[in-house]
Amino acid sequence: MPPTERLLSDETLDAIRAHFPRYPNRRAVVLPALHVVNEYLGCVPIRAVVEVADLLGLAPAEVQDTLSFYGFFKQDAPSGRVRIWVCRSLSCAALGGEDLLDYLCEKLGVQPGETTADGRVTLEVAECLGACDFAPAILVGTTLHKNMTREKIDALVASLEDSREDDLS
């Protein structure tokens, strides 16, 4: 039987190895390693979990446990180029967060957890983003958007549609 082709590229493995000197042990590298894989693949399939575990000298279950603890990593398919996280915790929900989520679903044509047909945007729900004073809040990639309204959502979605591919990364 031919050997199974590796999923993670040499570049990805090197990027993970670059974290080794920064952490006290290999177990502590699991989370940064998952982020590296996610950066390269847009998700962390189970095969990548096994390969990361192999690289770190851990059991695949240990890596999978860390992955499962966070709601951040997708395993089934790559995320869109941009992930929009809508806070659904108390302050935001009380100030219209649920309505904004419904509005975003309608505008993007997806449900939470899904990616638009053009692969640009994945819509997600999040617990408190730590911006309760600015509720309702959403996170677009790594940028926090405060005191969101339907009008701001309109502008945001329009800007994403106008963005060139390079701008979305």
Site membership for ligand FES, residue 137 (CB under 6 A): yes
Based on CB atoms, which residue is closest to ligand FES, 34 or 135? Answer: 135
Q: Which of these ranges, 8-16, 57-65, 78-86, 122-130, lies near ligand FES under the rule CB under 6 A?
A: 122-130
Based on CB atoms, which residue is closest to ligand FES, 76 or 133? Answer: 133
In whole angstroms, how close is the CB of 142 to ligand FES at the nearest point? 15
Based on CB atoms, which residue is closest to ligand FES, 12 or 89? Answer: 89
Site membership for ligand FES, residue 105 (CB under 6 A): no
Size of residue set near ligand FES by CB under 6 A: 12
Reported for 45-51, long-range contacts at CB under 8 A and 24+ positions apart, including other chains, are 45/7, 45/75, 45/76, 46/75, 47/7, 48/7, 48/8, 49/75, 51/6, 51/7, 51/8, 51/13
Read off the tokens for 91: 């302050």
Site membership for ligand FES, residue 87 (CB under 6 A): yes
Q: Are 153 and 145 in contact (CB under 8 A)?
A: no
Site membership for ligand FES, residue 95 (CB under 6 A): no
Closest by alpha carbon to 95, among 152, 147, 150, 155?
A: 147
- CA pair distance 102, 8, nearest whole angstrom: 37
Site membership for ligand FES, residue 128 (CB under 6 A): yes
Site membership for ligand FES, residue 100 (CB under 6 A): no
Closest by alpha carbon to 119, among 86, 85, 84, 81?
A: 81
Q: Which of these ranges, 50-58, 66-74, 130-138, 148-156, lies near ligand FES under the rule CB under 6 A?
A: 130-138
Closest by alpha carbon to 45, among 64, 66, 62, 30?
A: 64
Q: Which residues bind ligand FES (CB under 6 A)?
A: 87, 89-92, 128-132, 135, 137
